[in-house]
């Protein structure tokens, strides 16, 4: 298989690198750029020999870029400018400046990488693509956009994300490129969940009392918790606020199963006995290891002990689904020479 020189922007905990390996590119030369020192600690733990640059992307020069001559650009820019919580300020948000610097470098450089892959939140397609499209066309790329979620790939987790695949015009895609955003994967049948939540559960997490939902949250917010069981074939998107906020940040596990949940909620006693009934469900947070499995990180993926659980949730919430991106990298490079 062809070995590429890859430049991985906003490299985080190495999700794109794992996706490259999942796509079969094990001997790829990767240069990664990330300013977050905690994320870099995780990345270095998993890829000790990686060329990892802890610096602001806006410090990247055209000369450096042309010296490196990457074949492929991978990136997941900050999502806050394109989210509801981030006020959807798009290009006017300072957090988008580094991304626009990348586009400026690409536009001005004599070297044009053959491949380009971008991941971001749903909403990016509305507020973040005008300059991106213009730059790619100016630089001789054709591209296809997608909105995809892991559950379409047999993974029991929802994480709808925007993806853009681009390649130089002389390299044809293996499918007909269209101007509209695709919501399915070309050349691939849709899949139902092929495994249940129970298959990713960790024995150590099951015995960890610090993962149990606190009593005050049970009393105040039990009705809005998204509860799943070992038999479930779904879970909600895990965000960087998981375990800090209750609603919309990720699912909660009932190890006893959903039937037990239904029984307890159906016969919920008065307030004096309510907490006893709720505690009997043994509701708990998914551990970082379990969240990483739902995001398709391999079991050898390691978060060092120096990283706190809160930090681990934040890093995972900002990362990608490795399996989905692996499939997209395969699609991007399919049938190309070499």
**Under a CB-based contact definition with an 8 Å cutoff, are residues 258 and 229 in contact?**
yes
> How far is the C-alpha of 242 from the C-alpha of 221, rounded, in Å?
15
Element (H, E) at 20: helix 15-22
Number of Cβ within a 10 Å radius of residue 333: 24
Topology adopted by domain 5-189+320-333: Rossmann fold (3.40.50)
Three-state DSSP class for 117?
Answer: strand
Which CATH number is associated with domain 203-286? 3.90.120.10
Q: Identify whether the C-beta of residue 124 lies closer than 8 Å to the C-beta of residue 139.
A: no
User: What is the pLDDT, as a whole number, of residue 80?
Assistant: 73
Kindly list the domain boundaries of the chain, sorted by start residue: 5-189+320-333, 203-286
pLDDT value at residue 127: 83
139 annotated active-site: no
CA atoms in the 13 A half-sphere facing the CB of 143: 23
β-pair type (29-33, 5-9): parallel
Q: Which of 79, 139, 237, 254 is catalytic?
A: 79
Q: How many CA atoms lie within 13 A of 235 on its CB side?
A: 32
> What pLDDT is stored for residue 91 in this prediction?
57
pLDDT score recorded for residue 188 = 79
Collapsed DSSP state (helix, strand, coil) of residue 48: coil
Q: Based on C-alpha coordinates, what's the Rg of the chain?
A: 21
Q: For residue 81, what pLDDT is reported? A: 67
Q: Splitting the chain (338 residues) into consecutive groups of 10 residues, what average pLDDT does each group show?
A: 91 99 94 98 98 97 98 92 56 80 98 98 90 97 98 96 98 96 88 85 97 95 96 97 96 98 86 86 99 98 98 98 98 84
Number of C-beta neighbours around residue 293 at 10 A: 22
Gap between the Cα atoms of 2 and 17, Å rounded: 16
Q: Please report the pLDDT score of residue 271 as a whole number.
A: 64
SS3 of residue 221 by DSSP: helix
Chain centre to alpha carbon of residue 210? 26
Q: Using CA atoms, how far apart are residues 335 and 235, in angstroms rounded to an integer?
A: 35
Q: What is the pLDDT, as a whole number, of residue 85? A: 56
CA-based nearest residue to 122, from 146, 144, 155:
146
pTM reported for the whole predicted model? 0.94
Those residues whose C-beta lies under 8 Å from the C-beta of residue 272, and which sit 6 or more positions away, are none
Report the pLDDT value the prediction gives residue 38, as an integer from 0 to 100.
99
């Amino acid at each position: 298989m062809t070995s590429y020189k890859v430049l991985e922007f906003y490299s985080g905990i190495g999700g794109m690198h794992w996706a490259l390996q999942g796509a079969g590119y094990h001997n790829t030369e990767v240069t990664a750029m990330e300013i977050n020192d905690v994320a870099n600690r995780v990345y270095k733990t998993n890829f000790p020999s990686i060329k990892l640059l802890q610096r602001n992307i806006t410090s990247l020069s055209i000369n450096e870029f042309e010296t490196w001559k990457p074949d492929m650009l991978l990136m997941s820019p900050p999502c806050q400018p394109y989210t509801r919580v981030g006020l959807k300020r798009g290009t006017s948000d300072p957090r988008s400046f580094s991304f626009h610097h990348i586009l400026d470098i690409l536009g001005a450089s004599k070297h044009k990488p053959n491949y380009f892959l971008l991941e971001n939140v749903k909403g990016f397609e509305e507020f973040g693509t005008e300059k991106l499209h213009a730059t790619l066309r100016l630089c001789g790329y054709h591209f296809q956009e997608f909105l995809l979620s892991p559950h379409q790939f047999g993974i029991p987790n929802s994480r709808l994300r925007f993806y853009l695949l681009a390649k130089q015009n002389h390299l044809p895609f293996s499918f007909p490129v269209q101007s509209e955003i695709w919501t399915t994967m070309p050349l691939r049948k849709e899949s139902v969940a092929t495994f249940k939540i129970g298959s990713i559960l960790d024995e150590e997490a099951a015995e960890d009392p610090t993962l149990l939902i606190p009593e005050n949250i049970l009393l105040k917010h039990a009705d809005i918790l998204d509860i799943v069981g070992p038999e479930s074939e779904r879970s909600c998107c895990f965000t960087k606020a998981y375990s800090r906020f209750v609603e919309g940040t990720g699912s909660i596990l009932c190890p006893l199963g959903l039937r037990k949940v239904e029984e307890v909620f159906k016969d919920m006693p008065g307030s004096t006995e309510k907490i006893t009934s709720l505690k009997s469900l043994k509701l708990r947070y998914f551990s970082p290891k379990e969240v990483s499995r739902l995001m398709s990180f391999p079991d050898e993926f390691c978060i060092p002990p120096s990283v706190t659980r809160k930090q681990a949730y934040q890093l995972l919430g900002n990362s990608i689904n490795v399996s989905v991106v692996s499939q997209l990298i395969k699609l991007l490079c399919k049938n190309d020479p070499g």
